[in-house]
Amino acid sequence: MYKIYGIKNCETMKKAFDWLTENNIPYEFHDYKKSGISEAKIQEWLTQKPWDVLINRAGTTWKKLSDDEKSTDETGAIKLMIEKPSMIKRPIIENENIKVMGFNSDIYEQIFK
């Protein structure tokens, strides 16, 4: 079973949910807004991708930050992602072997089929 992380009202998440459902891929949803995200989970993801890739710079949460808040390091980025989890890139899909970030139907086709 896969676990998909993100927020429910996101167009990219809706594309990922639809793709997974259409392709009969079972998943469990973790909603950042309702359940938050732990520092340990973010640290785990940071072993795969750097913090500046993990942050969704295209989203309104990031764009609303002041320039001082944006000029951060990994420690500051972790704190921001815990406080404002909607600024984490989404979706993130994982199981014990696979971690996929973002939505791309071609990549999903290669990974999940």
Dihedral sign (CA 78, 80, 86, 88): negative
**What homologous superfamily does CATH list for 2-112?**
Glutaredoxin (3.40.30.10)
Question: Comparing 7-11, 17-21, 71-75, 92-96, which segment has the lowest mean pLDDT?
Answer: 71-75
Q: How confident is the model at residue 30 (pLDDT cuts 50, 70, 90)?
A: very high
Under a CB-based contact definition with an 8 Å cutoff, are residues 37 and 88 in contact? yes
Per-domain residue ranges for the chain? 2-112
pLDDT at 67: 87
Those residues with Cβ within 8 angstroms of residue 28's Cβ, 6 or more apart along the chain or in another chain:
1, 2, 3, 4
pLDDT tens-digit readout, 59-108: 888 899 988 888 788 999 999 999 999 999 999 999 887 789 999 999 99
Q: Which of 10, 20, 88, 93 is catalytic?
A: 10
To the query of whether residue 10 is one of the catalytic residues in this protein, the response is: yes
Q: In the beta sheet, which residues pair with residue 31?
A: 6
Question: What's the distance, CA 22 to chain centroid?
Answer: 21
